[in-house]
Amino acid sequence: MTIEARKIRLIMHLRKSGVVDTAVLSALERIPREAFLPSSFHDQAYEDMALPIGLGQTISQPLVVALMTQELRVGDRLKVLEIGTGSGYQTAVLSKLARRVYTIERHRPLLKAAEAVLEQLRIRNVTTRCADGTRGWPEQAPFDRVIVTAAAQGEVPKDLTDQLAVGGVLVIPVAVDRRDQRVVRVTRTPDGLEREELWPVRFVPLIPEPPDSPGGRAE
């Protein structure tokens, strides 16, 4: 089966699994997932599964990427903050939907690799930073949308909700205990924050401070 045929099969699977936003489906169809994977996993690029990318991290399952992006409700005039660049795949999908994407990764080698792929794909509306994602990006706040691709432990980081614009939406996995993680959507209203629990997931934990910059930010 050709890459194109595998991609079409995956898109059909996503539609059947509840991804109804045509802009999100189009974005996933336009992004070559294999570009964000080690060559040994290229043949699995369009299977609906998470795959390793090094340093104990993974590229997320396409269905999870699609559903979380759909819940984010991104528009082409919006500014998005992504916490957890990883391979850059989710970043690339967001770049096709948003005006501007700001993305933070704590592992510098992963960030450098993601930057190289984004450059190769000529994706120009992304700004990157190696830093502690739990602190957000206050210099660029407020954000219309925030998405986190690692699980917060118990509570949504206050720095992230503080950086939401009024009307802004944050989508984040939250770990209730060691076994139970759920995607949560937080919306900032003029009166405060509204929180909705969506569905169970499994993500690596959201950890403060970059590993190569103990106690502070790495720029």
Task: Enumerate residues 6+ apart whose C-beta is below 8 A from 121.
Answer: 31, 32, 35, 92
* CB-based burial label for 183 (10 Å; 0-12, 13-18, 19+): buried
Rounded to the nearest angstrom, the gap between the alpha carbon of residue 31 and the centroid of all alpha carbons in its chain is: 14
Q: Which of 60, 87, 95, 213 is catalytic?
A: 60
8 phi and psi angles, rounded to 5 deg: -60, -40
Distance CA 20, CA 14 (A): 8
Nearest C-alpha neighbor of 74 from the set 140, 138, 170: 170
Reply yes or no on whether 95 is catalytic.
no
- Residue 29 C-beta-side C-alpha neighbours within 13 Å: 16
Active site residues: 60
